[in-house]
Chain A
Amino acid sequence: MSFVKLTASALTLSAMAATTAVARDQVQIAGSSTVLPYASIVAEAFGENFDFPTPVVESGGSSAGLKRFCQGVGTEHTDIANASRAIRDKEISACAANGVTDIIEVRIGYDGIVFASQISGPAYTAFTPSDIFNALAPKVMVDGALVDNPHTQWSDFNADLPAADILAFIPGTKHGTREVFEEQVIAAGCEATGAMEAMISGGMSEDDAEDACLSVRTDGRSVDIDGDYTETLASIDANANAVGVFGLAFYENNTDKLKVATMSGVEPTTETIAAGDYPVSRPLYFYIKKAHIGVVPGLKEFAQFFVADPVAGPDGPLAAYGLVSDPELAETQQMIADEQTMGGNS
């Protein structure tokens, strides 16, 4: 008898726990570690300025965040995915397969990607995409022919660069930053050095050549960093010759340890990025599950607060931390107010 009673009370308890679970009162966010600092700033300010509880923001990378976001509708799933790249078609269909159809895309601003090295290390002060491609691609052009990358020092292909061993710490594949790095630096270098043409004339189809352009050498001179920028910074600290890829905001917080290189002659600053002069920058996004608006309290208010002028505008705290504010912020604000989803009008 007492065993039956015990089981019954245990079941009631777990049922009670389950009912509590349904009533989630705070916004749950996961995704890009690049967007995380901005999201945490907004989350703190949101908690201070509204009567809603402070949202919970998790990191883990754009892809991981979008994957969790796409797992379904319901309070056990996240409401917002942060991403340092636009959502892919593959992810949209994965979302749709789990019933997540109405997604609102919000662009919060731009982030610059900078190449920086140890402050006391060799003088890497000017790069072009071709330099990075020549240093890191598995196959490069030497004397008009496509060969396995023979370069071991930066000075091997550009006499203006220091004679130091090539070692680069680049973001790992789960980071949104990697995609920007590939498209705006490696692919650009691939085209500029003529390697892409050589691949196509060597019998590759255009698509294959584009893919081949994006690969990096695997002999240990290019190291993927799957953690965040702190890990890259630690690696740079330990290797005087190394070059690392950072977000602009992170670099600006660590100017006592890092020196930055110009890209194609343009110095990365919030001004040059906003003006579009600095070539390596990317938009930052977050994605809202429309089905959760009205279910999770404060979700829409949070999104509106995030892109409001005093927050995401040029004088707001996000810009102060290093976000390059979006000139088309007003449109984004309107879009959230209308709850306009991707590809739809409603």
Chain B
Amino acid sequence: MTDASLNSPDASRPAKSLTHEDARTKKRNASERRFRMYGVAAIGTGLFFLLALLTAILSAGLPAFKQAVVEVPFTLTQEEYDEAEKALLKTGVYTEYFITSLSSTMDAEGVEIEFDKKAVERLLGKVGGELRTYYRENEDDLGAPIAFELAAASRVDRYLKGTFTRDDLQAGNRFFMPEDFDLIDAMREAGLVKQVFNWNFITGVDTGVDNPGGAGIGASVLGSFFMMLVVLVLSLPIGVAASIYLEEFAPKNRFTDFIEVNIANLAAVPSIVFGILGLAVFIQFAHLPQSAPLVGGLVLTLMTLPTIIISTRASLKAVPPSIRDAALGVGASKMQAVFHHVLPLAAPGILTGTIIGLAQALGETAPLLLIGMVGFVARYPETFVEGFFEPNSAVPAQIYNWAARSDAVFTEKAWGGIIVLLLFLITMNTIAVILRRRFERRW
């Protein structure tokens, strides 16, 4: 009786059919569809924020790559050059020469507008430094007319880009006068002003707060590059050697367990702690130079090591034991088995871990704060070796610095710096993907 009721179709339930869903199947299918929708929604949210972020970065940062320049022919005689080099504020004398030259150019172009020295300073910023640097490097050009492309001041730049209008100007602003708008309009009509790609932003160095137009990120990109070099050269061999030993050779006992736990803990230590350690050990104890990419690289190496060790061990573990057994079976030593067979197979995973670690290190600012790499560092190293020892900044530190300054053009540059940082990261990741493709092996 009970058997019959179990086996025979229940009168209350409809007949089962593959083409007809019953209520429970419907429910299960519905819940699966809901789950898929959640998944799509989650990805959608992620994409939305990514898109919003990219739009914000690109719209705020791209203007930093363009710049208004004023093209002015300028001639400097030998006597003027000698005269200027005798002064204390030499760049100030060059500025004077330039103003005289600009006045005559404007007259020649038929621009009938009066302007004084202060107006030129407001519109063109620091022209003296640029002129002096040029003539000191090219003394042969003395006496011959040179067409200089001089960067316009920040507010002129913003006016031409449309983010600063006549209505924004407050009365009594010492940095920009209403008549400056007329002057810049007149210069634009005379064809002296044009928009060009801002190479100086890519190749230049940081500038003082009163010269936002001239600031460039080049030196700090180089600083970041040297730091990454140090991190790569130190953390990859140390990290891989440590993982191979721990994973393949070390005896499993309490001591190695203790080390393993501590490596995992180290990965979670806030980066500023490594900065304090770096200040105490590398600068105050080992007397390494302050603000140097070498010290920055050493500090970031400490930070990156746990990440590399953990990912390397994971990828070593992922190599099937049969590979080792086969190698040992044909008479290879343990070391041969590891280096000839296990390591090459684990290489793609190790590479991914390394790149993730490096990318993390690249974006780090906090530890650099303590070893003096966040500040005003405006110089290029002269030789490759000096690149490690001479003071330099790093891209994220430079961005942080610019964001803290009062002029709006520096904010624009900070966004532009973020774009450069992202490009740096993308380049690193691309190299990693290419290398991984090349090394990847399947079994």
Contacts and interface: CB of A to CB of B under 8 A. Distances in A.
A43 B376 contact: yes
B378 interface: yes
Given A30-B372, A53-B379, A58-B372, A311 B89 contact: yes
Contacts of A58: 291, 372, 374-376
Contacts of A254: 406
A78 B283 CA distance: 12
B405 A45 contact: no
B105 interface: no
A256 interface: yes
B407 interface: yes
7 closest Cβ pairs, A-B complex = A58-B375, A41-B208, A310-B89, A57-B376, A44-B208, A48-B129, A37-B209
Given A24-B290, A75-B289, 19 more contacts: A18-B286, A26-B390, A37-B405, A40-B206, A41-B208, A41-B209, A43-B208, A43-B376, A48-B129, A55-B376, A56-B375, A58-B376, A60-B369, A76-B287, A76-B290, A254-B406, A255-B173, A310-B89, A317-B208
A56 B209 contact: no
B374 A45 contact: no
Given A253-B175, A317-B210, A30 B375 contact: yes
Given A18-B286, A40-B209, A58-B374, A253 B407 contact: yes
Nearest to B171: A255
Contacts of B283: 76
B207 interface: yes
Interface in A221-259: 227-230, 233, 249-250, 252-256
Given A43-B376, A45-B89, A49-B89, A28 B286 contact: no
Contacts of B82: none
A145 interface: no
B173 A26 contact: no
Contacts of B291: 28, 56, 58
Interface class of chain A by DSSP: helix
Q: Which of B173, B210, B288 has the most CB of A within 10 A?
A: B210
Contact of A54 (B121, B172, B379): B379
A150 interface: no
A26 B391 contact: yes
Interface residues of B, number: 49
B404 A230 contact: yes
Interface in A286-310: 305, 308, 310
Interface string B112-123: 000000000100
Nearest to A316: B89
Q: Which of A40, A41, A250 has the most CB of B within 10 A?
A: A40
A270 to B, nearest CB: 8
B133 interface: yes
9 contacts: A21-B289, A37-B208, A45-B91, A56-B391, A59-B374, A252-B173, A255-B170, A305-B88, A310-B88
Contacts of A230: 403-406
A145 B183 CA distance: 61
A49 B95 CA distance: 13
Interface in A14-36: 14, 17-18, 20-22, 24, 26, 28, 30, 33, 36
A191 B88 CA distance: 48
B309 interface: no
B398 interface: no
A44 B129 contact: yes
Q: Which of B129, B132, B290 has the most CB of A within 10 A?
A: B290
B150 interface: no
A70 B77 CA distance: 49
Nearest to A304: B88
Contact of A48 (B133, B374, B406): B133
A136 B210 CA distance: 34
B344 interface: no
B132 A48 contact: yes
A80 interface: no
B92 interface: yes
A331 to B, nearest CB: 18
Contacts of B305: none
A39 interface: yes
A305 B87 CA distance: 12
A321 interface: yes
B311 interface: no
Contacts of A228: 404
Interface string A106-131: 00000000000000000000000000
Interface string B239-266: 0000000000000000000000000000
Interface in A46-87: 47-49, 53-60, 71, 74-76, 78
A320 interface: yes
A48 B211 CA distance: 13
A47 B379 contact: yes
A74 B369 CA distance: 21
B82 to A, nearest CB: 16
A190 interface: no
A56 B89 contact: no
A49 B86 CA distance: 11
B376 A56 contact: yes
Contacts of B92: 310
A57 B168 CA distance: 33
B405 A17 contact: no
B181 interface: no
Interface string B402-424: 01111100000000000000000
Q: Which of B169, B208, B407 has the most CB of A within 10 A?
A: B208
B152 interface: no
B116 to A, nearest CB: 13
A42 interface: yes
B294 interface: yes
Contacts of B129: 44-45, 48
Nearest to B133: A48
B378 A49 contact: no
B69 to A, nearest CB: 19
B66 interface: no
Contact of B210 (A24, A28, A41, A56): A41
B207 A44 contact: yes
Contacts of B91: 45, 48-49
Contacts of B174: 252, 320
B287 A49 contact: no
Contacts of B133: 48
Interface string B161-202: 000000011101111000000000000000000000000000
